[in-house]
Amino acid sequence: MADTKDATSSNQMWGGRFASGPDAIMEEINASIGFDKKLFAQDIRGSIAHATMLAEKGIISHQDKGKIVEGLNTIMSEIESGRFEFSRQLEDIHMNIEARLSVLIGPAAGRLHTARSRNDQVALDFRLWVKEELVKTEAMLTALIAAFLDRAEEHAETVMPGFTHLQTAQPVTFGHHCMAYVEMFGRDRARVRHAIDHLDESPIGAAALAGTGFPIDRHMTAKALGFREPTRNSIDTVSDRDFALEFLSVAAICAMHLSRLAEEIVLWSTPQFGFVRLSDAFSTGSSIMPQKKNPDAAELVRAKTGRINGSLVALLTIMKGLPLAYSKDMQEDKEQVFDAAENLELAIAAMTGMMRDMTIRTDRMRAAAGSGYSTATDLADWLVREAGLPFRDAHHATGHAVALAEKKGCELAELSLEELQAINPAITQNVFDVLTVDASVASRQSFGGTAPSEVRKQIAYWRNRN
């Protein structure tokens, strides 16, 4: 009776969910099959390459290699068709596949794990998955850039207000504004490409941490798996998750860019701005206010950034205190990357759709382009260029002109020549040629400027860029 009572007390201490006590707790915290089964294709691909190399080097027989490859292909079909039964008791994707392989081909399955460890095996699977995801992200960013290039070409001459501090600053073109995002997402794509280059080394063959005494050929497996070369230090190989951190860093920066764009879309779609009208495909209504058309897709893209940033911080925190080489803490890496990848894909796809579908309200943009005395800088520049004033004096005179226009409740171009000459007698009738938003925009022909001619040059540059 005493033994039964002690066991019951122990179970109650562990909590109702864990009826079997500490063993159930350990299974719950240790098993990763719930999420790392996503790596099944990479695991099978890596195992086939490893078995092929073992056979070529005479470490296992070609007969056993043939059985292993056939069995792994069968398992691949079973998983893809949904017929494979994953077991939590077998902990992870590697042991689930190996156990099934043993059932299918018998003792030959036990030879597959020769000259490798789960440490280098999981490093390989995860690298392959991240590399494939980066390739997919690169293609999605290319599609997003193409959407912006199309919009920039369409609106190379569409004037709109340019902002600093969210205050009207100077007139720009919507095409120029679109090209700012082309630059942003172009940098993101470059970072993706750099990340692919950095991780393009094969970990398999590093074994647990010290390499192996078997006469393996790591260059052979690296080539078979599409890597540039094998990694060069077995300790670093199994303890490195820089490739995952770099993916998350790239994802976080890209998500931040998407969020900035989303914020602008949210603002621009309000009645107060009215610069764009979102399609029904990327908007929702209100359950109580029938007039509402909410930019929910943009808002959710904006929110995804926090989630992706959290994944980066989580993995940085997981890795920061780990001694070399492998520690079980590193099992927590995959969920962060999987979640960030899924949400980044969704955010890029949503933004690409929004940019292609939204209606640009050029009339509202033009009406707002001249507000807030946006051509004041053009007046100051004219005073420097035509009247020979030092820029600080021109700035001061322009400030007086703005104050006068503000007092009269009119725009700069609506001030009379006499009123402007009272501020500075060097002003002539020609000044009115630069006080329109079209003239202002057309004059900004410096490299990378907002002039339509310059915008078109940059569009051509990006269309010819890989």
Average pLDDT over residues 329-341: 94
What's residue 406's pLDDT? 87
Same domain, 252 and 330: yes
Provide the total of helices (H) and of strands (E) in the chain, helices listed first: 19, 6
Residue 37 CB coordination number (10 Å):
16
Percent of the chain with pLDDT over 70: 93
Whether 72 and 103 map to the same domain: the answer is yes
Residue 349 structural domain: 118-155+171-213+232-362
> Are 350 and 381 members of one domain?
no
* Whether 357 contacts 278, CB under 8 Å: yes
Shared domain for 176 and 50, answered yes or no, is no
Does the pLDDT of residue 7 top 90, yes or no? no
CATH of the domain at 443: 1.10.40.30
Statement to judge: residues 135 and 76 lie in one domain: no
User: Both 388 and 270 in a single domain?
Assistant: no
Coil, helix or strand for 232? coil
Query: Which CATH number is 346's domain given?
Result: 1.20.200.10
Final residue of a domain: which of 362, 393, 411?
362
Q: Are 281 and 288 in contact (CB under 8 A)?
A: no
Q: Is the pLDDT of residue 145 over 90?
A: yes
Point out the catalytic residue in the list 9, 81, 165, 287.
Answer: 165
* Banded model confidence at residue 281, pLDDT cuts 50, 70, 90: confident
Q: Residues 291, 426: one domain?
A: no
The reported pLDDT for the residue numbered 12 is 44
Is 428 a domain residue?
Answer: yes
Q: Is 286 a catalytic residue?
A: yes
Total structural domains within the chain = 3
Question: Helix H segments across 115-173?
Answer: 118-154
Q: Which two tokens stand for residue 402?
A: 């703005």
Q: Which residue has the tokens 């201490």?
A: 13
Position 124 in a domain: yes
Reported as a single tens digit per residue, the pLDDT across 422-436 is 888 888 888 888 888
Cβ 265 vs Cβ 298: under 8 Å: yes
The answer to whether residue 165 is catalytic is yes
Give Cα separations from 221 to 1, 247, 379, 430 (angstroms). 60, 24, 67, 73
Among 346, 362, 378, where does a domain finish? 362
Is there a domain that residue 289 lies in? Answer: yes
Single out the residue in 332, 362, 392 at which a domain terminates. Answer: 362
Tell me whether residue 16 is in a domain.
no
For residue 17, the model assigns a pLDDT of 53
Structure confidence by residue, pLDDT tens digits, 399-419: 998 899 889 888 888 888 888
Per-residue pLDDT reduced to its tens digit, 171-223: 999 999 999 999 999 999 999 999 999 999 999 999 999 999 999 999 999 99
424 in a structural domain = yes
Q: Which of 87, 286, 371, 453 is catalytic?
A: 286
Model pLDDT for residues 59-84, shown as the tens digit of each residue: 999 999 999 999 999 999 999 999 99
Q: What is the 3-state secondary structure (H, E, C) of 280-303?
A: HHHCECCCCCCCCCECHHHHHHHH
